[in-house]
Amino acid sequence: MIEDYHFGSIKINGQDFDKDIFIGLDEKIIPWWREESHLFQKKDIESFLKDKPEIIVFGTGGEGLAKIAEDVDDLEIKVISEPTTEAVKIYNQLKKENKKVVAFLHLTC
């Protein structure tokens, strides 16, 4: 579970992160880099989705400035896109409901 998020920093299972991250179905945390900093594209996330999640939660930054490209809709997976503060709450709730959810979280902007 995500314990805390503040602009530029997130705490998960007692561990602090200060870079954008992906959280997999197994809750493994991986640094997440994109071709364009504030545009989340299909090619930026496809390699992370081999475990076939039901839901992807995107945290679009503290101010919600990042955007989701239209090609992400081609994945045929439910997508939730919110500013990161709200995305963290949604992700935690979905995990409590035992949903197959992954998260891509932008920690700044």
Q: What are the structural domains of the chain? A: 2-106 (3.40.1230.10)
Q: What is the percent of the chain with per-residue pLDDT over 90, rounded to a whole number? A: 93
Determine which of 72-76, 95-99, 105-109 has the lowest per-residue pLDDT on average: 72-76
Per-chain mean pLDDT for the chain: 95
Mean pLDDT of all residues in 76-88: 97
Q: For residue 84, what pLDDT is reported?
A: 98
- Residue 21 tokens, joined: 């991250």
pLDDT value at 93 more than 90: yes
Give every strand in the sheet of 2-6, ordered side by side. 2-6, 9-12, 15-17
Phi, psi of 78 (to 5 degrees): -60, 130
Phi, psi of 27 (to 5 degrees): 70, 15
Determine which of 56-60, 75-79, 81-85 has the lowest per-residue pLDDT on average: 75-79
Q: For residue 73, what pLDDT is reported?
A: 86
What is the model's pTM?
Answer: 0.95
Mean pLDDT of all residues in 9-25: 96
- Residue 72 tokens, joined: 């992400």
Per-residue three-class SS string for 36-76 = ECCEECHHHHHHHCCCCCCEEEEEECCCCCCEECHHHHHHC
